[in-house]
Amino acid sequence: MNALARKFVQDYPYPVALPYRIARDEDEELARRLWAIPFTALQAVKLTSLVHRAHPEHVEIADGLAGVLGNLGNLLSAQGQAEAARRCYERAAELYEALHRAHPEHVEIADGLRS
């Protein structure tokens, strides 16, 4: 690993570490903080999607992915990105509906269908 790569891994050990730090840093300018929040949520969606693809049968992972998609939709909606938010909500609803069909015994999944 070259020096630049080592420095990057040292400074940013996780893919969402920098945007997460920016979002929480009250000394950062507001526009940069507002960018970092949905970026961090998008990274959470990407990571959760990878885990879900590896374990599609796992109810809690699929439920978590649907929840993260809903949260990202809320953030995008609050920033005026209605079309992107709609796509997140639709994907979350698809996951919740599939989960409910496959696992009707998990009544807590139906809560996601109401949101």
Q: What is the pLDDT of residues 1-18, one digit of tens each?
A: 556 556 555 655 555 567
| 84 has a pLDDT exceeding 70 | yes
Q: What is the pLDDT of residue 40?
A: 82
CA-to-CA distance for 67 and 59, rounded, in angstroms?
12
Mean pLDDT of 59-80: 91
Q: What is the pLDDT of residue 24?
A: 82
Whether residue 67 contacts residue 89, with contact meaning beta carbons closer than 8 Å, is answered with no
CA-to-CA distance for 101 and 104, rounded, in angstroms?
6
* CA-wise closest residue to 42 among 65, 13, 60: 65
- What does the block give as tokens for 20? 């997460």
Whether residue 64 contacts residue 48, with contact meaning beta carbons closer than 8 Å, is answered with yes
Would you kindly state where each structural domain of the chain is located, as residue ranges?
Answer: 38-115
| 98 has a pLDDT exceeding 60 | yes
Read off the pTM. Answer: 0.72
Task: State what percent of residues in the chain have pLDDT above 70.
Answer: 77
Q: What is the pLDDT of residue 105?
A: 81
Structure-model confidence comparison of residues 102 and 8, the more confident one = 102
